[in-house]
Amino acid sequence: MSMAHEDYDAAMRAMEESYEKAIKQLESAQERGVILGLDILGLGAVERMDVDVLLSKYPDTFNLYILALEEISKQDNKDKMSYYEIAGIHGLPFRAWSDVTDGPIANGYCPHGTVLFPTWHRAYLLMIEQTLYYHMHRIAESFPESERKRWVDAVKNFRHPFWDYYRPRDYRPSGKQAKYPGVQDSENRETKVDWEFSVPKVFTEPVIQVVRPQSEGKWTVMDNPLFTYEFLSDPPMQEQWDAYDEKVLEDEKKRGTDLSTVWFSNRAQTVRYPRKNRDLISMVTKMNQTIQMNRAPGVEYLVHMMENEEYKKYETFAATGLEDDGETPIQTPLANGSLEGLHNRYHLIIGGTGGHMSRVPTAAFDPIFWLHHTNIDRYFAIWQAVHDGWITDVASDYGTYELLPFKTDKTVEEGQKFWNNNSLRNVSDLGYTYSDISGTKQEVLENLRHNYVWSLHTTLSRNIPDEPPSNMAPIDVMKTQFFTFVHPDPVKAIDGEKKHEKTWPTKKLVVEDPSELQFAVHPDEFEKSDEELLAGLPAGTRLIRQWYIDSKVLRNAHDDAFSIYYFLGGLDKDEPECYHHEATLIALDHIFVNSQRNCKNCATQAAKKAYAFNTSPITSKLLTYVENNELPLECLHPKNVLAFMNANLKWRVLGSHMVPLKDEDVDLKVSVSSTISFLYPEEIVPKFHAASAFHEVTGINGRFEKVMA
């Protein structure tokens, strides 16, 4: 054997020994409830992938992931690193995790509504990622010796997958188009699209096929652990759940609510879009329709946060809340949204009213929670790759602020026992990465645009093709071995509900001559026509007008989660269970909070009368109205849009238990705002020109001011 071969073999043995040592460290960490981060494995920063990509690219790895998720889901709830106990950190059961009670958080750990939101959840993901990896390795080691190396090597490709909300899951050309409630087709009250943006099939199929260590290489059917989580028996938790529900009934009785209309989550297993109170059935079609209806506004929201310089401040981007004084908004006239705001919206979009994901105490038990949050962490990492801001820009001591209850052995600072913000800053130091964050800042932004902006209305498509790049093409997972025994279900309309008399916006509802309206004073630019604004600019320059609904709300006023639904036009059924799927729904917000008695952070915010701020991009929705000649919106000029919205904008506020709320119950303030940008020839990034708020639509004097570049 040559010296080169000997050196290679020695290097390989050293790597194997180092890896085995790291696995023993993981075992010790799991026993002690300590999070190390998978960088200790010495494998570098391994890519986290969309779940469909992981399934198709590394099927053995995905197979082990499913087996590990099944294993930890069935572990005794007394095991601190079981699925039950890890999920319980986010809410129920309301008790200390692994005896971590010291520090500022004595009752509940989640920092929703604060600038700690992104980093706390990053540590939380490290916990589930490490736990799954450890169990995947154990399972791989239990395969027959002849196959063992194949499976052990497959584990090394694992990092926790995410669900990319804006990746198409199917291509459905003319004649087979996906349908969802909308205003494109007035007669059928629906919108049709070629590309389907549904939830990945791995979340909607109740069973799945896998290879088990004892199955001799044969595929066996099992319950799909990504479909639902079945709650374990835990009398103390049931008592707390009883108390939680009883408090809701007590509060609603005081408000005079008909208690028979109050919905509660079932106690047997997690569901999404339950059909009725305490139901065990998830309505997949309705969930997918809601995802499709909110896709374009979501893409606008994401791209706006990454491109807009107003979001370069960490505190503006991170959360929906206020500065430390409890009074100063961390948002600005151009940046009323946040990472947390987009995150909150998807808790509602995924869970639906009455679903476990829509409520803080139960959200983390739904297996989709972890892939949802990994996607939010991906957005956080993209923002970091584009901007230099960090949490210490808010307050220097935030860098070393302990994120309970996440223990660590990585003592960057003397005496450190828990993960802090500084130790979570660089994802590569934590053993993972995302394909979206490689390259320069400009390359990261261009990659983001090419991956997502293609799916927007052509008015907003930024000089790029109107189809997904090859890396974003749909993957037919139903043809993989995991699902070959299952046939995909067809896309259906809303459960065959009876069509009601149309209540579209009509010309009779709108002022015939918009100039007659007495609008507030705004920058002169908003009074100009498109031609006037484009005068003198290079030939081929495009004018982009974008519109938003902005909200301000007392976040803890309801002492639980609640939602706001915005409509342009009448409702078929003005009933809470129908709001998600009204054809005229143009936006929604979700205020994702816990009860004060179960969350010290929530109680503190309530005492400060903290507000939550959010924004809802509505440009794509408005363009659908413009294109439908039966509807009275001619263009996106303010005089047309404001007259239209003044006559037709409506909203409803709904508590998480299907209880209608009044605006004054939550001190809701609503405003409409707009921006003007120019997209120059050969450019992809529009150049901001002006912005303004239009309070006359809702009659509310908010905190927004006009802004000019």
Looking at residue 418, its amino acid is F
Task: Verify that 591 and 465 share a domain, yes or no.
Answer: no
Residue 596 lies in a domain: yes
**Among residues 669, 625, 624, 663, which one has the least CA distance to residue 644?**
625
Q: Which residue has the tokens 């799909």?
A: 224
Residue 456 lies in a domain: yes
pLDDT at 496: 29
pLDDT at 186: 72
Task: Verify that 212 and 260 share a domain, yes or no.
Answer: yes
Q: Other C-beta atoms within 10 Å of 17: how many?
A: 10
- Candidate ranges 46-55, 676-685, 688-697; pick with highest mean pLDDT: 46-55
CB-based contacts of 79, cutoff 8 Å, min separation 6 = 85
pLDDT at 104: 43
Task: Verify that 432 and 566 share a domain, yes or no.
Answer: no
- Reply yes or no on whether the pLDDT at 460 is more than 70: no
- Reply yes or no on whether the pLDDT at 516 is more than 50: no
Task: Verify that 460 and 521 share a domain, yes or no.
Answer: no
pLDDT at 327: 45
Task: Give 84-106 pLDDT, tens digit per residue.
Answer: 999 999 998 888 898 887 544 44
Task: Verify that 319 and 361 share a domain, yes or no.
Answer: yes
Measured N-to-C along each axis, helices 339-351 and 295-307 cross at an angle, to the nearest 10 degrees, of 170
CB 274 within 8 A of CB 281: yes
Looking at residue 354, its amino acid is G
Greatest alpha-carbon pair distance for the chain in Å reads 92
Task: Verify that 256 and 401 share a domain, yes or no.
Answer: yes
pLDDT at 410: 74
User: Taking residues 249-260, what's their average pLDDT?
Assistant: 75
Strand, coil or helix: 287:
helix
The number of residues making up the chain comes to 709
Who wins on pLDDT, 639 or 415?
639
In 74-144, alpha helices (H): 83-88, 117-141
Residue 237 — very low, low, confident or very high, per pLDDT cuts 50/70/90?
confident
Measured on CA atoms in the order 348, 349, 354, 357, is the torsion positive or negative?
Answer: negative
Who wins on pLDDT, 540 or 46?
46
Residue 500 lies in a domain: no
Residue 236 — very low, low, confident or very high, per pLDDT cuts 50/70/90?
confident
Look up residue 594 and give its two tokens: 């816990």
CA distance 694 to 580: 26
Considering the entire predicted model, what is its pTM? 0.88
Task: Verify that 24 and 46 share a domain, yes or no.
Answer: no
Task: Verify that 435 and 513 share a domain, yes or no.
Answer: no
Domain that holds residue 14: 1-32
Q: Supply the CATH number for residue 664's domain.
A: 2.60.310.20
Residue 493 — very low, low, confident or very high, per pLDDT cuts 50/70/90?
very low
Residue 22 — very low, low, confident or very high, per pLDDT cuts 50/70/90?
very high
CA distance 706 to 689: 12
Q: Other C-beta atoms within 10 Å of 264: how many?
A: 18
**The total number of structural domains that make up the chain:** 3
- Reply yes or no on whether the pLDDT at 581 is more than 70: yes
User: Taking residues 581-607, what's their average pLDDT?
Assistant: 82
Residue 565 lies in a domain: yes
- Candidate ranges 187-201, 317-331, 423-437, 581-595; pick with highest mean pLDDT: 423-437
Residue 446 lies in a domain: yes
Task: Verify that 22 and 44 share a domain, yes or no.
Answer: no
CB 92 within 8 A of CB 362: yes
Of 64-78, 164-178, 359-373, the one with minimum mean pLDDT is 164-178
Residues 673-685 as b/e (b if ≥16 CB within 10 A, e otherwise) read bbbbbbbeeeebe
pLDDT at 357: 94
Task: Verify that 277 and 337 share a domain, yes or no.
Answer: yes
Residue 501 lies in a domain: no
Q: Which of 438, 464, 479 is the last residue of a domain?
A: 479
Q: Supply the CATH number for residue 193's domain.
A: 1.10.1280.10
Residue 496 lies in a domain: no
CB 363 within 8 A of CB 347: yes
Segment 76-82 long-range contacts (CB within 8 Å, at least 24 positions apart): 76/232, 77/232, 77/234, 80/33, 81/30, 81/33, 81/127, 81/131
Residue 685 — very low, low, confident or very high, per pLDDT cuts 50/70/90?
confident
Residue 498 lies in a domain: no
Task: Verify that 291 and 440 share a domain, yes or no.
Answer: yes
**Residue 662: how many CA atoms within 13 Å on its side-chain side?**
5
CB-based contacts of 417, cutoff 8 Å, min separation 6 = 402, 407, 408
Task: Verify that 62 and 17 share a domain, yes or no.
Answer: no
- Reply yes or no on whether the pLDDT at 702 is more than 50: no
User: Taking residues 287-296, what's their average pLDDT?
Assistant: 92
CA distance 208 to 481: 9
pLDDT at 107: 56
pLDDT at 480: 92
Percent of the chain with pLDDT over 70: 86
Who wins on pLDDT, 702 or 466?
466
Residue 517 — very low, low, confident or very high, per pLDDT cuts 50/70/90?
very low
CA distance 449 to 459: 14
- Averaged confidence pLDDT in the chain: 84
